[in-house]
Amino acid sequence: MTDVVQTVPSKIQQVMDILSQLAIFAGAVAIAGIGNGYPYGFIVGIACQPFWFYTTWRHRQWGIFLASLIYTYGWASGVYYNFLK
């Protein structure tokens, strides 16, 4: 019974790690899209930020976590100026 309890969180973490890697890749695609004049890249970029927060928090990468906060501000500014203003 203890083996099941110990493997469930591990499997959830594996799934979250895979989803985070996919989201990080989508963030790079968003940057390429913005560079080519595709403003919806800002929406894709800000949607990827929670995965950056999860990954950097889980792996204790505090410098990248701080950089993620700055990126979030940039993505949010892009969404605001391109879609809300």
33-48 residue pLDDT tens = 999 999 999 999 999 9
In sequence order, the 6+-apart residues with CB closer than 8 A to the CB of 30 are 41, 42, 44, 45, 48
* Cα–Cα dist 5/60, whole Å: 24
pTM: 0.81
Q: Is the pLDDT of residue 59 over 80?
A: yes
Pick from 3-12, 15-24, 50-59, 65-74: least confident: 3-12
Q: What is the pLDDT of residue 56?
A: 94
